[in-house]
Structure 1
Amino acid sequence: MSVKGKVAIITGSNSGIGLGVAEELARLGAKVVLNSFSDSDEDHALAERISGEHNTGVAYIQADMSDPEATRALVTKAHAKFGRVDILVNNAGIQHVAGIDEFPTEKWDAIIAINMSSAFHTTAAALPLMREQGWGRVVNIASAHGLTASPYKSAYVAAKHGVVGMTKVVALETAQEPITANAICPGYVMTPLVEKQIPETMEKYGMDRETAIKEVLLARQPSKEFATTQQIGGTVAFLCSDAAAQITGTTISVDGGWTAL
C-alpha cells in the first residue's frame, strides 16, 4: 500500500523538517495538511505551490499548538476538508537554552505544550478516525535528545523523551489494529534555522565555515554531516509503507551515529 490518496497532517510544516516531510508525502501522492501558528498569505501560497507541483490536494490550516482545543480542532478541520485522516506527523516544536536554575517558567511551559502535549492532543483526536477507516500511521518527530541529553536543554530533552514514551504507549494500545506509531529521532538536520546559525557560530568562535560546522554544530554527530529534510521525509514515507507494517513502538535514529556513542 502506498501513501497515494492518503491524507497526512504534518504539524509545524511551513518550514524545516515539517516542510520536507510534507513535500515528500505530496510527491508520493498523499493529500497534505500544512500547519503552523501563523496564517499569512505566504502560508496559503506555499500550500498552493506544493499542490500544483505534485498534482495533489494540499491545504494550510492554522493552529496554535500550545492550545489543546486548537490542536484537536486541527485534526477535525483536516477531516472536514479531506474526509479522512490517515497519517499524523507530529513535528511542531520550539527550543530555549538555559541552565535549570535560570530556565524561565513560561519557556518550560511553552516547550512542553508545543513539543509534547500537542502530540498527545492530535493523536487523541486522530486515533478514532484511523480506527473508523481501518488504517493509520502516527509518526512523531522526536530527536536524538529523546534518547540522550545535553546540558541547558532541560525542557526540550524532557519533552522529546516524553514523546518517545508516548509513542510506545500508542503503539501498545493499537498493537492489534492496522495502526502503527513510531518516533523518528533526528540529530542535526540542515534547515533554514540551522543555516542561520552557521555564520553566527563562525563569528563567535573565529572559525571558517567547515570548521564551525564540524567542530561546533556537529561536534556530537560522528558522520560530521547534516541529515536533510528529504531524508526525514523519506523515513516518514517508509514508516507509512507496507514494509513497515510490523514496525511499531520504536525509534529510528537519523543522527549520523550520534546515539551510537
Structure 2
Amino acid sequence: MKLKDKVCIVTGAASGIGNAIAHRYAAEGGKVAIADLNIDAAEKAASDIREKFSVEAMALAMDVTSEEQVNDGVAKVVDAWGTVDVLVSNAGIQIVNPIEEFAFADWKKMLAIHLDGAFLTSKAVIPHMYRQKSGSIIFMGSVHSKEASPLKSAYVTAKHGLLGLSRVIAKEGGKKGVRTNVICPGFVKTPLVDKQIPEQAKELGISEEEVVSKVMLGQTVDTEFTTVEDIAEVALFFAAFETNALTGQSLIASHGWCME
C-alpha cells in the first residue's frame, strides 16, 4: 500500500473531488481526516471510509478561511495520530460574473477560500512536516491556473496564485523534506461545475448544451469530462512520490484541453 499509516488531511472532502481523493488515500492504507464546512456530510464520509476500507478516518468542521478553525482541526489530527504526512488543499467555490459586475465581496470571498485556505492549512501542517523531515502538500489548482476564461476573474486569479505559493513552499521546504505540487484539472463533473452551466448559459446568451459542448469541452481531444477518479489518481501520485525530484510542479489533467 502506497500510503500505509500515512496521516492525510483533505479539505472540502465531504463531496466531489476531495471525497474521491480521500477514498483513494484510504484504499492505499492512509488515515484520512475529512475537513469540510458541512460537518454532518464530513461525518458520513468518514464513516463510509471506515466501513469500506477498515482504516482510521475522522471528520473535522473546518472553514479554511478561519485561522482558528484550521489550527484547531490540524491540532485534533496531530493529537489523534501524531503528525500530518499529506495535506490536500482542495476546498473551493465558483462565482461567475463579468468583471464590471463582479461584487468586491465575492472577489474577496473567492480569494479567501482558494488562497487564504491554501496558505492557512499549509502554515498549520508545515511545522509537523518539518519536525519529521517529510511531507507532501498538494494544492487543487485548475486549467485556469494556466489559462483564462471570461466571467472568472477571481477564480483565475486565485488558481494562478496557487502556483506561486506552491513554488515558494517548495523552495523553503526542500531541505526539510517537504514537497508541494499543484493538480490542474479540466472540467470535472461535480456539483460545482453543474452549478456553472446555467449561470454561464445566462451570462453568455447560449444554451446549456452549448456551454458544455463548446465552452467546457470544446477544446478537449474527445469532448469528455475529467472524472473525480482521474484527479484522485494524480493526488495519489503526488502524495506517494518519495523524493524532492518532483516538487514545485503542476500537472494538468484535462483531456487535452490545455497542453504544455
Fold in common (TM above 0.5): yes
- Equivalent positions of 1:17-28 (< 5 A) are 17-28=17-28
State the percentage of identical aligned residues.
35
Distance verdict in 2 for CA 1:108–1:258, change over 3 Å: same
Q: What is the Cα deviation at residue 24 of structure 1?
A: 0.4
Q: What is the Cα deviation at residue 230 of structure 1?
A: 1.0
AA of the residue aligned to 1:27: A
Q: What is the Cα deviation at residue 72 of structure 1?
A: 2.7
- List per-residue Cα deviations over 1:23-66 (Å, max 9, x = no partner): 100111100000111222x4312211111101101111011122
- List per-residue Cα deviations over 1:135-174 (Å, max 9, x = no partner): 1000111111111111211111111111111000011111
Q: Is the CA contact 2:200–2:211 (under 8 Å) kept in the aligned structure 1?
A: yes
Q: Secondary structure at the match of 1:89?
A: strand
Q: Distance in 2 between matches of 1:94 and 1:189?
A: 13
AA of the residue aligned to 1:184: I
Distance verdict in 2 for CA 1:145–1:168, change over 3 Å: same
- 242-251 or 49-58: which moved more? 242-251
Q: Distance in 2 between matches of 1:239 and 1:194?
A: 24
Q: Which residue of 1 is the match for residue 13 of structure 2?
A: 13
Q: Which residue of 1 is the match for residue 190 of structure 2?
A: 191
Q: Which residue of 2 is the match for residue 91 of structure 1?
A: 90
Q: Secondary structure at the match of 2:181?
A: strand
AA of the residue aligned to 1:168: R
Q: Which residue of 2 is the match for residue 2 of structure 1?
A: 2
Q: Distance in 2 between matches of 1:244 and 1:205?
A: 48
- 55-64 or 194-203: which moved more? 194-203
Identify unmatched segments of 5+ residues in structure 1: none
Distance verdict in 2 for CA 1:120–1:27, change over 3 Å: same
- Equivalent positions of 1:50-199 (< 5 A) are 50-195=49-194
Q: Distance in 2 between matches of 1:183 and 1:196?
A: 24
Q: Which runs of 4+ in 1 moved over 3 A?
A: 192-207, 242-245
Q: Which residue of 1 is the match for residue 212 of structure 2?
A: 213
Q: Distance in 1 between matches of 2:95 and 2:241?
A: 38
Q: Aligned residues, how many?
A: 258
Q: Which residue of 1 is the match for residue 39 of structure 2?
A: 39
Identify unmatched segments of 5+ residues in structure 2: none
Q: Secondary structure at the match of 2:88?
A: strand
AA of the residue aligned to 1:145: H
With normalisation by structure 2, the TM-score equals 0.91
Q: What is the Cα deviation at residue 235 of structure 1?
A: 0.7
Q: Secondary structure at the match of 1:94?
A: coil
Q: Secondary structure at the match of 1:227?
A: coil
Q: Distance in 2 between matches of 1:72 and 1:243?
A: 27
Q: What is the Cα deviation at residue 215 of structure 1?
A: 2.8
AA of the residue aligned to 1:93: G
- 131-140 or 62-71: which moved more? 62-71
Q: Distance in 1 between matches of 2:101 and 2:240?
A: 44
Q: Secondary structure at the match of 1:240?
A: helix
Q: Is the CA contact 1:2–1:242 (under 8 Å) kept in the aligned structure 2?
A: no
- List per-residue Cα deviations over 1:218-244 (Å, max 9, x = no partner): 123333111111111111111122466
Distance verdict in 2 for CA 1:136–1:216, change over 3 Å: same
Q: Is the CA contact 1:185–1:253 (under 8 Å) kept in the aligned structure 2?
A: yes
With normalisation by structure 1, the TM-score equals 0.90
